[in-house]
Each structure stands twice: as C-alpha cells, then as structure tokens.
C-alpha cells in the first residue's frame, strides 16, 4: 500500500473544501440571483403599472357624471385613455368592476367570470378590487407563455372602479439566471485553478519543515548528532524544530561526555598500570637477586629488604587511595554527617602537619576565628581533606620556609612558598594521577587532591587553587558553597 504524504492529503482536503464551497456558492447564487432578478422585474412592473393606473384614475375622476364606462362614471376622456393605453401596450388589460375587458386585441370586449379564471388569477383580481397590488403567475396559460402578472386598482374617489393588469414574460429571467450561472461557473473554475496552485504551494511549504525534521531525525537515529534542522519559525513547527535541535545538541554533548569518560577510563588504567609497574618491577628484581644469590652480603640483603618494604608500603598507599577515591565518587557511599566545629577539625589537622613540617624546619603560621565555626559533616573525612592539602604544602615547600593557614567563618586558605604551578597545569591538578612538573618526583600517588576534592563535593564545600610559577600555591575552601574548582594564576 502506497504511503499517502501529508502534502497530497492537504491538497485533497483543500480541493474538497473548495469544491464544496463552490457548490454552496452556486446554490446560494442561483437563489439570490433569481430573487434579485424577479424583484427587479416586479419593481419595474409595479412602477409602470402604477403610473398607468394613476393616469386612468385621473381621467375617470375628471369625467362628467353619468358617462358610460367603468360603472357609469367617466366619458369619452376615460375611454380614450384606456384605448390609448391598451393600444400602446399589448400586455396591458383593463377590467371594469363587472370583469369586462376594455383593452384592445383579442380580449377586447370579452366578459370574464371568476369561474373562467385560474385559481391564482382569481385571487389576484379579487385582491385588486380590494385595493391591493398583487402578483400572480396564474395568467400564463391564458397568455400562451410563462408570464408574471401584476394587478393595480383604478380608483374613482375612494372606490376601486377597475383593475389594470400588466403581463410580462418571465422567460428572459430564466435566461438571465442561466447566464449568471455560466459566469459564476467560469469564475469558479478560474478560482479553483488558482486555489489549487495556492493549495499546492501551501502544502509544500507546510510539509517542507516536516521533511527536514524527518531527515534530521533519521540522521540522529544513525548516530550523527551534529545534524541540525536549521528551521527558524515562530509557530509550532519552529518550536518542534527547536526541540529537535536541542535534543541533537544534548545527544552530541552526551556523546562527547561519553567519549571523554571512556578516554578518562583508558587514561586511568594506563596511569594505574604505570604507577604499579615501577614498584612491581623493583620488587621482582629484588626478589630475583635474593633468590639467585646475587646479593648475599648481610648489609646488602637488609637494604634490599628495606627497599622491598618501602615499595610494598607505596603499593599499599596507592591501593588504599584508589579504594578511597572510588568510595567517595560513589554517590551511594554514605557520609556520616554530625554537628562538628570546623575550627577544631583544622586544629587537629594542624597538629599532624606540624610533625611533618619539623623535618624540614617549616613554620606553620595559623590564624583562627575567635568564635567556633559550626558545620554538619564527617569529622574524619574533613580532617583527611585538610591534612591532604597541608601535607602537599609541606611536601612541596622548601626547607626553612613558612606556610600560612588562615581560617574565618566563611572559609579557609592555605598558602605555601613552594615553586608554584604553571597556568596550563592548574585546570588538571584535581584530576587523578595529575601532578605539576615542578612538583613531580617528590612522592605521592597523584590522588591526594582528587580525594580532597571529592570530600569537598560531598560536604558542599567550594575548593579553589591559585598559583603562579615562583610564587607559591594557595588552596582555598569556602564553607557551604556549590562545589567548584576555580583556578587563577595569582596568589594573594
């Protein structure tokens, strides 16, 4: 079964609507046109008959009393007027009150009776002698052709003394109506042809955006998320096209995010493999050397054991950090929130950091708020987050330097005097296994800041990092803000 397109259905609908409209117009036109022609004919006959009747009434009223005609009154003046009227107009009859036809022609001198008149003609004559001006089609048979008859009274004073009947053929009206219908047919045919062209143009214009959206939908179904409709209209089609374009954009963004996530997964696996390869290689080489007796001197054996223990501890830290980061990134992993004081958490982290700083003779200068800073969070996780940043500050600061830790009711900043970080490296320092080239090789798995950021995210804490080469690094926390990692090349 062939598919019927919307354009064809629209054109068929428009054609049917136009055809129905044309038929209704034709029927209405026939009725209105016939009525208008008939009304014009009646008005013309009424004006003509009224003028003739007024003339005859004037002649009758001016005639000498006792004269013959029309019931007695009237004389040669009235008779002459009747003769003149009937001679001038073949279709005019003049009847007296006794139904005697006074007009010229084949009916002159005839005496009619109501019994000889057609029913409708009888009505007309009676109404005329009652003072009316009626119309009738009843005299058609007597006239020998389709005729419209109008009767008007001829008065003598206030009395109806006679009737003037005027007949007019109505065949011309039918011909005029037919001619009008032909003109309407020609005009309708032209209008239909023009309307068909307009309907075709409208249908094609109506379906063009649909075809375009169908094409784009097919491209999206095939995975081409760069497809766009390019339709800009202020109607429902425009809204639908905008929705499709928005969907296409979202799918393209989702595809890019999926590709980025896949790339990150591959990078993560590569980095984990790299981080594991070095200690595993060292452990294997040491074990092989001990097994093969290459190292037998007790001091060297002890050194190998210590190296193996150190590498094992490094592996353990790496595994623990990976597990910790995985748990924090899992939204189902619960964070035990309790009412805590952030200043107490910070003091606890500072005590641990000072023990690390003593080995490098680093001074940690602190400034804490005068009042407690209440917060809802996991005490151990918050301490871990702060200690990661403090540990990095100690690790990457030179000996005999100073670390500045400043806390208030809205946030915390930790600033060191380390080598600083290049601007191009700043956006990536919160990623897994990312370290600045200036600080690389100083230990660590490269997961510390990633873990700190996840803890901040889970506690609705904003974390930002500012640095510049040779100017140290500042890490800022903002309590109760939307988590973000803003970066700057300036240090306060």
SS3 content of the chain, % helix, strand, coil (to 5): 55, 15, 30
Q: Kindly report the CATH number that applies to the domain delimited by 6-174.
A: 3.30.450.20
DSSP 66: T
**98, 69 in Cβ contact below 8 A?**
no
Query: What count of other Cβ atoms lies within 10 Å of the Cβ of residue 444?
Result: 20
In this prediction, residues 264-269 reach a mean pLDDT of 71
Which pLDDT belongs to residue 332? 64
User: Given a cut of 60, is residue 136 above it in pLDDT?
Assistant: yes
Which pLDDT belongs to residue 441? 46
Describe the crossing of helices 379-396 and 342-358 by its angle, rounded to 10 degrees.
30
- Which residue(s) pair with 153 in the sheet? 163
25 exposure class (CB count in 10 Å sphere: 0-12, 13-18, 19+): middle
**Which among 396, 392, 346, 398 is positioned nearest to 372, based on CA atoms?**
346
User: Given a cut of 90, is residue 187 above it in pLDDT?
Assistant: no
Local confidence band at 69 (pLDDT 50, 70, 90 cut-offs): very low
CATH T-level topology, domain 335-488: Heat Shock Protein 90 (3.30.565)
pLDDT tens, residue by residue, 204-230: 777 788 888 888 888 888 888 888 888
User: Given a cut of 60, is residue 443 above it in pLDDT?
Assistant: no
Residue 454, CA atoms < 13 Å, CB-side half-sphere: 23
CATH T-level topology, domain 253-328: Helix Hairpins (1.10.287)
Residue 410 or residue 480, greater confidence: 410
* Per-domain residue ranges of the chain: 6-174, 253-328, 335-488
| Average pLDDT of the chain to the nearest whole number | 78
In this prediction, residues 244-264 reach a mean pLDDT of 84
**Which among 206, 220, 210, 219 is positioned nearest to 241, based on CA atoms?**
210
Query: What count of other Cβ atoms lies within 10 Å of the Cβ of residue 98?
Result: 11
Tokens of 30: 């026939």
Residue 246 or residue 1, greater confidence: 246
Place of tokens 């982290």: 349
Q: What is the SS3 assignment for 227?
A: coil
Which pLDDT belongs to residue 97? 73
In this prediction, residues 423-441 reach a mean pLDDT of 62
**CA-CA distance, 319 to 309, in Å (whole number)?**
15
Summary count for the chain: helices (H), strands (E) = 10, 12
Q: What is the dihedral of CA 415, 416, 418, 419, to 10 degrees?
A: 10
CA angle 434, 435, 441 (to 5 degrees): 130
DSSP 134: -
CA 306 to chain centre: 72
In this prediction, residues 285-313 reach a mean pLDDT of 84
Give the N- to C-terminal CA distance of the chain in Å, as an integer: 76
Which pLDDT belongs to residue 468? 83
In this prediction, residues 158-170 reach a mean pLDDT of 85
User: Given a cut of 80, is residue 7 above it in pLDDT?
Assistant: no
pLDDT tens, residue by residue, 399-425: 999 999 999 988 999 999 888 888 877
In this prediction, residues 17-27 reach a mean pLDDT of 75
Local confidence band at 152 (pLDDT 50, 70, 90 cut-offs): very high
In this prediction, residues 466-483 reach a mean pLDDT of 82
User: Given a cut of 80, is residue 107 above it in pLDDT?
Assistant: no
Within 225-341, residue ranges assigned H as helices are 236-291, 298-329
């Amino acid at each position: 079964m062939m598919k019927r397109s919307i354009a064809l259905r629209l054109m068929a609908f428009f054609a049917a609507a136009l055809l129905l409209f044309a038929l209704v117009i034709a029927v209405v036109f026939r009725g209105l046109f016939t009525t208008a022609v008939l009304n014009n004919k009646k008005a013309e006959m009424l004006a003509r008959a009224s003028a003739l009747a007024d003339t005859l009434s004037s002649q009758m009223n001016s005639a000498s009393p006792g004269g013959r005609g029309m019931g007695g009154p009237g004389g040669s003046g009235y008779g002459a007027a009747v003769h003149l009227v009937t001679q001038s107009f073949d279709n005019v009859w003049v009847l007296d009150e006794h139904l005697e036809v006074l007009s010229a022609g084949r009916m002159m001198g005839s005496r009619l009776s109501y019994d000889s008149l057609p029913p409708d003609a009888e009505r007309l004559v009676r109404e005329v002698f009652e003072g009316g001006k009626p119309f009738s089609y009843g005299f058609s048979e007597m006239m020998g052709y389709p005729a419209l008859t109008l009767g008007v009274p001829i008065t003598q004073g206030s009395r109806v003394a006679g009737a003037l009947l005027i007949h007019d053929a109505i065949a011309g009206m039918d011909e005029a109506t037919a001619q009008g219908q032909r003109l309407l047919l020609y005009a309708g045919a032209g209008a239909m042809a023009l309307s068909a062209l307009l309907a075709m143009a409208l249908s094609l214009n109506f379906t063009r955006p649909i075809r375009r959206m169908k094409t784009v939908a097919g491209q999206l179904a095939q995975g081409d998320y760069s497809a766009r409709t390019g339709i800009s209209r202020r109607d429902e089609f425009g809204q639908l096209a905008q929705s499709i374009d928005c969907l296409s954009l979202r799918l393209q963004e989702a595809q890019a995010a999926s590709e980025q996530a896949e790339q990150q997964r591959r990078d993560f696996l590569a980095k984990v493999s790299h981080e594991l390869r070095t200690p595993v290689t060292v452990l294997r080489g040491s074990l092989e050397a001990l097994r093969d007796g290459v190292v037998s001197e007790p001091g060297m054996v002890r050194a190998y054991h210590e190296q193996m223990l150190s590498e094992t501890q490094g592996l353990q830290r790496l595994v623990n950090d990976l597990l910790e980061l995985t748990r924090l990134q899992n939204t189902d992993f619960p964070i035990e929130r309790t009412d805590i004081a952030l200043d107490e958490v910070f003091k606890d982290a500072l005590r641990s950091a000072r023990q690390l700083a003593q080995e490098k003779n680093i001074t940690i200068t602190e400034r804490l708020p005068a009042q407690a800073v209440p917060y809802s969070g996991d005490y151990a996780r918050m301490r871990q987050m702060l200690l990661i940043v403090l540990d990095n500050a100690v690790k990457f600061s030179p000996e005999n330097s100073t670390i500045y830790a400043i806390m208030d009711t809205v946030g915390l900043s930790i600033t060191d005097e380390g080598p600083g970080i290049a601007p191009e490296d700043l956006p990536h320092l919160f990623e897994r296994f990312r370290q600045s080239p200036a600080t690389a090789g100083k230990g660590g798995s490269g997961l510390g800041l990633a873990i700190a950021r996840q803890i901040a995210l889970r506690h609705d804490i904003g974390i930002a990092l500012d640095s510049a080469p040779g100017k140290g690094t500042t890490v800022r926390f903002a309590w109760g803000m939307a988590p973000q990692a803003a970066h700057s090349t300036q240090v306060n």
